[in-house]
Chains A and B, each alone.
Chain A
Amino acid sequence: MVETLRIGCGAGFQGDRLEPALVLAEHGKLDYLMLECLAERTIALAQLRRLNDPAAGYDALLERRMTGLLPLIKQNGVRIVTNMGAANPIAGAQAIVALAKKLGLTVRVAALTGDAVLDLLDPNQNVLETGEPLSSIGPLLSANAYLGVEEMLPAMESGADIILTGRVADPSLALAPLAHEFGWSIDDIDRFARGTVVGHLLECAGQLTGGYYADPGKKDVPNMARLGFPFADVDADGNATFSKVAGTGGRIDRMTATEQLLYEVTDPNAYLTPDITADFTEVQIMETEPDTIAVTGGRGRKRPETLKVSVGYHAGYIGEGEISYGGENCVARAKLAGEIVAERLRGQFQELRVDILGITGLHTRPMSVGDYNPYEVRLRVAGRSTDRQKAALVGEEVETLWTNGPAGGGGARKSTQEQIGIVSCLLARAKVKPQVTVFET
């Protein structure tokens, strides 16, 4: 058995940069490379694409990411674990095999399916967020259960170079290789808790290494243009040190890691995944060398009985319009412009949001003490409708401000976008039927 396993994270969201994963695969001396590319809404959008084209629905950047990575992982013996299968892991695996053939490489890809559970849900069951029945929220589009290590292990054992999943819990992308390589059992609570801390710290990639951290003069991060992504060296008990490839940009220390450890954690005593109820409250982060931290102290309790399911539904359309004003009295002109649009659209939208970007856009009001006198501001109006054409009226009315509004408006833009809503519900684990299908060149 290996003494330590090195896992890198080469993507922290669907549109993440391609370069850091290449750097990790080439110079990182990795055993595993995880790529986390599937936010809640991303999978519903992928399902929309699959409805239009049965061969689509896997991650839109899959081929671009794999074109660079395939030669490197074959050369260096790195296995990839990724949720880039999105709404169609089978088609994604076939696409990787086709790409490998084109590149003259051999590859083995294991596709994990079974997370798509729309047919297994009861329309009368409650939405977690609101307590209302599922049937009341509008046309359902997709439902994906968060699978975990137990469901992923057969794929890990298949010997595949690439394990391609749909919806799995993000930290499981790291925990599954650990459980597989070290032979941790599903009910090994302490090791699963520590491995989940590792996965959670890695899952947002650059957010551990100084991405989303910099504040010039206050919290400086070197060479952000070449921000490197993290890897973890994990021992057989789940204790880990984290670092990044020498020469890459960014920083990793107690401060960057604390921000990431707590990121999106609704209860630090009970971070729920399909694998564990993790407790982060006793986690310790120690700086051991420059850009290197040691992390210990993850604890846990039994995993939840049920799986969380993320349900996507059609939520209508959002129409937006924007136009800018500058110079003396610009705020008053932007406010007048907003009042004009609101008056013209009166009674047509349940909710119309009118903002002066520069003053109210982010927080509805300035949160600081003291006066604001911006040199320029931008009016933004947004409204939602179940009807695309009606939603488009918002942007159209903002555009008419060119010749029908206050003086000096410039840079008008309009857009109308389909909205996918997401809610959650629970599903008994036994109802899910995970399946692994292996494809080879």
Chain B
Amino acid sequence: MKRKLYDLAHARAGDKGNTTILSLIAYKAEDFALLRERVTPQAVKRHFAGIIKGEIVRYELPGLGALQFVGQDALGGGVTTSLAIDVHGKSLSAALLEMEIEA
């Protein structure tokens, strides 16, 4: 069965230059293992195809029930020169939660 990340986790996005930082935090500790297995950097890269153009690194924080994704070349040159309406990519947290995984 497919499940949206929105049902399993909450998220916040931050930015540094042209890099986006996406935190994905399980609501329930027991769901963290599933997130770690399914929400791989490769899967996130596919979900954000054409948006996060560079490498995605994933950090695992089991004690916090969280995964941290750091994506390069993601913000149209960065907050100060991007032509996008959301120059910080703050709303990318909601985009991440739209991702579906097999659960």
Contact = CB atoms under 8 A, between A and B. Distances in A.
Interface stretch (A71-79, A144-152, A358-366, A405-413): A358-366
A300 to B, nearest CB: 16
A315 B81 contact: yes
Interface residues of B, number: 39
A420 to B, nearest CB: 6
A41 B61 contact: no
B30 to A, nearest CB: 15
A384 B21 contact: no
A-side interface size class: 35 or more
Contact of A268 (B27, B68, B86): B68
A421 interface: yes
B21 A283 contact: no
B61 A281 contact: yes
Contacts of B21: 262-266
A284 interface: yes
A259 B23 contact: yes
Given A255-B25, A384-B81, A263 B14 contact: yes
A362 B95 contact: yes
A269 interface: yes
A424 interface: yes
B12 to A, nearest CB: 4
Contacts of B84: 353, 362, 382
B80 A315 contact: yes
A210 B98 CA distance: 22
A355 interface: yes
A268 B51 contact: no
The 10 closest A-B pairs by CB, nearest first: A264-B14, A353-B83, A262-B23, A367-B98, A367-B95, A382-B83, A259-B12, A421-B80, A362-B91, A368-B98
Given A266-B70, A355-B85, 14 more contacts: A129-B18, A212-B12, A259-B10, A262-B12, A262-B68, A265-B21, A268-B68, A282-B63, A352-B83, A362-B86, A367-B98, A369-B98, A382-B83, A422-B79
Interface of B: 6, 10, 12, 14-19, 21, 23, 25, 27, 47, 50-51, 59, 61, 63-66, 68, 70, 78-81, 83-86, 91-92, 94-95, 98-100
28 contacts: A41-B79, A129-B17, A258-B23, A258-B64, A259-B12, A259-B25, A262-B25, A262-B61, A263-B12, A264-B15, A264-B16, A264-B21, A266-B21, A267-B59, A268-B59, A268-B68, A282-B63, A285-B64, A297-B63, A361-B86, A362-B84, A363-B51, A363-B91, A363-B92, A365-B50, A367-B47, A382-B84, A420-B80
Interface of A: 40-41, 129, 212, 215, 218-219, 255, 258-269, 280-285, 297, 315, 318, 351-353, 355, 357, 361-365, 367-369, 380, 382-384, 419-424
